[in-house]
Amino acid sequence: MKHASGAIALLSLVLLAAATPLAYPQARSDNTVDTYFGVQVPDPYRPLENVDSAPTRAWMAAEETLTAQYFAGIPERARIKAHLERIVDYARYGQPFHAGSHYFYTYNSGLQNQSVLYTMDGPHGRPRVLLDPNGLSSDGTIALGGTAPTYDGRYLAYATQQSGSDWQTWHVRVVASGRDLPDTLLWSKFSDATWLHDDSGFYYERYATPEAGETYRAALPDQRVYFHRLGTPQSSDLLIYSDSAHPDYFYGTDVTEDGRYLILTQSSGTSINNRIFYEDLHSLHPHFVGLFTKSDARYSIVDNDGSRFYVDTDLNAPNYRIVAVDLASPQRLRSVVAQTSDDLQSAGSAGGRLFLSYLHDVHSVVREFAHDGRLVRTVTLPGLGIATGFDGQRTDTSVYYTFVNFTSPAANYSLNIGSGGSALFSKPHVAFDAAGYTTREVFYRSKDGTRVPLFISYRKGLRLDGNNPAILYAYGGFDIATLPSFSAFVASWMQMGGIWAVANIRGGSEYGEAWHRAGMLQNKQRVFDDFIAAAQYLIAQKYTSTPKLAVSGASNGGLLIGAVETQRPELFGAALPSVGVMDMLRFQDFTVGKAWISEYGCSTCSQAQFETLYAYSPYHNIRPNTVYPPTMISTADHDDRVFPAHSLKFAARMQTDQTGSAPIILRIDTKSGHGGGKPITKLIDDYADEFAFLVRNLHMTLPANY
């Protein structure tokens, strides 16, 4: 009886701790008020935008201490972390690609912080390590960014990125020896490298050197295109293209497979509409000539036969089509493959064929076409899921692709272009019995009656009694489709007895450009309505219930979670907004925020846009004396994509206005950024904290065999 009494007393202490409001650090505030079109808008936590000030640093340190203490009080966290380390420890291969006779792929043995780049001579040669990023830092926070081999595979340009920052440093490695040349290029961001076919150098994009203290904060104007000649210092790089009159433009370059044309793509911010110029590299006086200059649609060069180019475009085709255009008469477009009722997600070429990957109710259908538009075959895929790749060279007889779905990890295949048969190249083996789990695709109606897809994955035999813990995830923006994919972390959540649900809400590209436009600018509220309706569907169908339902999203998806929990705080059992855009009135003032104006609008552009943004801006819609669900807000100190002050201000205001005992936790990751290149050790800690937070706040009991 003494032991039983002790257990009851311990349980009482745990319940008391869970019901006691946390003592939050006091953030510095002031009386800042901005006026937009006659409307006065308080911004009390403006001082937190100075993330390097002593008061802000002290407050962040106090928040980190509180967060660490909170997780130290959740005994299940250690068990969750140990399980994550076991399930993530499996060999993973990247999709192979080749340049000349040199083949490349990435490989991770399991718990390596960063995947290693391998090369081999020929498709069946002996693999050897070409570049191991794990040796570049002791903690795995230097990641391999872009890679670009020369056409013959002699050299490899590669970028490194440190602590999760978007800043890239370019290097050049000799493939045969594995040694680096002295060439080092700084202050590049959102850039690839494009080689001339004579291996003399490559094109890349960069910015001016930022001022001291502004490396991770300052708005970035005026990206420029440069050419770097091997063996010369960066200061000698040749400026190829810039437009100071339009500092928000982004650029991309490519050299056609025949080596004759340099393609320059120009876009305004994150708008999908773009312009394309070309330069004849065989000309005595090469100069850029406009091919598509109206920015009236998206244009992407897929392939060329001399001066005839094959282009993927949504011009007069919201689901995209393939057209041909000859440089001799660029005003005449000839339709090669017409649009269909399904969205054309990607187009590639290999072996003299065009490979078009369509999205049919959010799973891939891949069709192979001749260049005259004749359908050769519909590619037989390993099952229902997502297939990506299908891009190579004219002389290829086979092409690689990757196939994945919610319960099957990414496997790589080689497709024989002549026969259409697929051969397995690599398939991972995970400590997860996919046969014991199922994924259902259902459709629900949003607030305005729109039919929206929802994927629901869970252990077979699960009772639909409303008592199941669930995570509802979505993104909903920037023409990005949320596609079925496998995650060992999600698999671990399902092994815990959890449901994983993904809503394909408007704002993405699941049903073409019309689906995107239905959730952008003045239509953004539809995105939140779609997500709320997904939550209501899961509850109504008894997959879960409000006390058991967590919602999760990152970046634009973090904005989504911040918006829905401030609009419907009573609907959710927990909220997990990560690296979110929370201040919709000032996002354009930091890092690359101006690039998002084409998606969101901006608070100073027009009264109508201000009113739209103000109505849903998460930071501005936190209300005093409101009961918000348990919330874990995540950001990172080196996030130069979404400035950390978004999450800092949101957390400070929510902690102040929260009524009741539900925790509002601010998790600040150090030496980390927006998510790209994050080492596996940090990812494991991320998910261990997230799942521990949900175990505590959704009142879960871990299975005995977990």
- Cα separations (Å) of 380 from 387, 415, 588, 680? 11, 10, 45, 34
**Environment class of 246 (CB within 10 Å of its CB; exposed 0-12, middle 13-18, buried 19+):** exposed
Whether residue 236 has pLDDT greater than 50 = yes
Amino acid letter at 128? R
Q: Quick one: pLDDT at residue 19?
A: 58
d(CA 249, CA 337): 30
CA–CA separation, 162 and 421 (whole Å): 41
Q: 3-class DSSP state for residue 336?
A: strand
pLDDT at 12: 38
| CA-closest candidate to residue 95, choices 480, 415, 367 | 415
Render the burial of 351-376: b for 16+ CB within 10 Å, e for the rest.
Answer: bebbbbbbbeebbbbbbbbebeeeee
Q: Distance (Å, rounded) from C-alpha 45 to C-alpha 43?
A: 6
The answer to whether 477 and 616 have CB atoms below 8 angstroms apart is: no
Q: Which of 203, 199, 197 is nearest to 174 (CA)?
A: 199
| 521 Cβ contact partners less than 8 Å away, ≥ 6 residues apart | 599, 600, 601, 609, 612
| CA dist., res. 293 & res. 310, Å (int) | 17
Structure tokens at 300: 């992407």
Residue 14: pLDDT band (50, 70, 90) is: very low
Q: End-to-end alpha-carbon separation of the chain, Å?
A: 30
Helix axes 524-540, 556-567, angle to 10 degrees: 70
pLDDT score for 17: 42
What does the pLDDT average to over 499-524? 97
What confidence tier does 7 reach under pLDDT thresholds 50, 70, 90?
A: very low
Catalytic residues: 555, 674
Helix (H, G, I), strand (E, B) or coil at 48: helix
Q: Which residue has the tokens 């671990």?
A: 492
In this predicted structure, the answer to whether residue 509 has a pLDDT above a threshold of 90 is yes
Question: Could you tell me the residue ranges of all domains in the chain?
Answer: 2-86+439-697, 342-429
Angstrom distance (rounded) from CA 656 to CA 650: 10
Would you say 553 and 477 are in contact if contact means Cβ atoms under 8 Å apart?
no
Eight-state DSSP code of residue 684: H
Per-residue exposure over 17-33, b if at least 16 CB sit within 10 Å of its own CB, e if not: ebeeebebbebbbeeee
| Topology given in CATH for the domain delimited by 2-86+439-697 | Rossmann fold (3.40.50)
Q: What distance in Å separates the CA atoms of residue 118 and residue 584, rounded to the nearest whole number?
A: 43
The DSSP secondary-structure symbol of 334 reads E
* Mean pLDDT (whole number) for 666-692: 94
At residue 175, the pLDDT reads 98
Check if the beta carbon of residue 223 is closer than 8 Å to that of residue 207: yes
| pLDDT tens, residue by residue, 348-362 | 999 999 999 999 999
The confidence score (pLDDT) of residue 188 equals 97
638 has pLDDT over 90: no
CA pair distance 592, 125, nearest whole angstrom: 43
- Residue 454, token pair as written in the block: 């929802």
Contact 692, 698 (CB under 8 A): no
| pLDDT for 105 beyond 80 | yes
> What is the distance between the alpha carbons of residues 504 and 518, in angstroms, rounded to a whole number?
13
Average pLDDT, the chain: 95
Number of DSSP helices (H) and strands (E) in the chain, helices first: 11, 39
- 3-class secondary structure for 417-453? CCCCCEEEEECCCCCCCHHHEEEEEEEEECCCCCEEE
Mean pLDDT within 32-44: 98
Determine the pLDDT at residue 232.
98
Kindly tell me if the per-residue pLDDT of 378 is higher than 90.
yes
Q: What is the pLDDT averaged over residues 529-533?
A: 98
Per-residue pLDDT for 620 more than 70?
A: yes
pLDDT confidence bin for 212, thresholds 50/70/90: confident
